[in-house]
Amino acid sequence: MEVKANESFKTIIRDAIQEALKEINKPTMTIDECKEYSGIGRDKLMELVHAENSDFPCFRNGNKFLINKKKLDLWLEKVSEEKRIL
């Protein structure tokens, strides 16, 4: 009985780790994922993605905005170096 429980627990842990790795390696983020990742509020992110002349690294997929994770990191560095106020 205990062996079966251990195998079940191992399967749950393995599946959770695999799912987390998929998320880490995902090249794009949604607005909500970007909010958690960057610490920038949802309203500010929405303002950035809708601004005409924004250099914010996003694109539209249908009616959903996606943010390029690598370009976001570079953008955050640039904003920080410029001491820009968002």
Assess if residue 74 is contained within a domain. Answer: yes
83 dihedral zone (left: phi>0; alpha: psi -120 to 50; beta): left
Helix axes 42-50, 31-38, angle to 10 degrees: 120
Assess if residue 73 is contained within a domain. Answer: yes
Helix (H, G, I), strand (E, B) or coil at 56: coil
Assess if residue 18 is contained within a domain. Answer: yes
pLDDT of residue 12: 87
- Predicted TM-score (pTM) of the model is 0.71
- N- to C-terminal Cα separation, the chain: 57
pLDDT at 7 over 80: no
Please choose, from the candidates 61, 57, 58, 65, the residue with its C-alpha nearest in 3D space to the C-alpha of residue 32.
65
Assess if residue 28 is contained within a domain. Answer: yes
Q: Looking at the 3D structure of the chain, how many domains does it have?
A: 1
Q: Which pLDDT band holds residue 26 (cuts at 50, 70, 90)?
A: confident
